[in-house]
Amino acid sequence: MEGSELLLGVGETQSIAATVVAANCRECHANIRFDEEHFELIAGEHELALGSGTFKRSLEWQIRARNPGEKLIVELSVTEGGALQLITLPVRILPAPDMGT
């Protein structure tokens, strides 16, 4: 990371983990969103139904950088009814190094 920005090179992967703690929730869902031109989801699901009630659940995704880009965002969100908790991760993807071939 560089400052508050995640710095990746094309082809690099990054694991993203979150813990959801819920008390008496109804129909809780988690989502990961990103620009599919720049990222590929290689582990985890875009949308997860977490259920209802009181629980603590650990979530994990793995993404791969596909194409260079500046000022990109990966969003993690958890919804319960109409309530939304949102986390945004700023990302920059650098070009793959030229190996001189």
Spatial separation of the C-alpha atoms in residues 74 and 52, rounded to whole Å: 26
Instruction: Output the pLDDT for position 99.
Output: 62
Q: Pick the closest to residue 63 from 101, 13, 9 (CA basis).
A: 13
pTM of the model: 0.83
d(CA 76, CA 11): 21
Residue 101: the pLDDT is 54
Could you read off the pLDDT tens digit of each residue along the chain, which spans 101 residues? 445 889 999 999 999 999 999 889 889 999 999 999 999 999 999 999 999 999 999 999 999 999 999 999 999 999 988 788 999 999 999 997 766 65
Domains along the chain with CATH numbers: 6-94 (2.60.40.2310)
pLDDT at residue 16, as a whole number: 95
Residue appearing with tokens 């995640």: 6
State the pLDDT at residue 5. Answer: 87
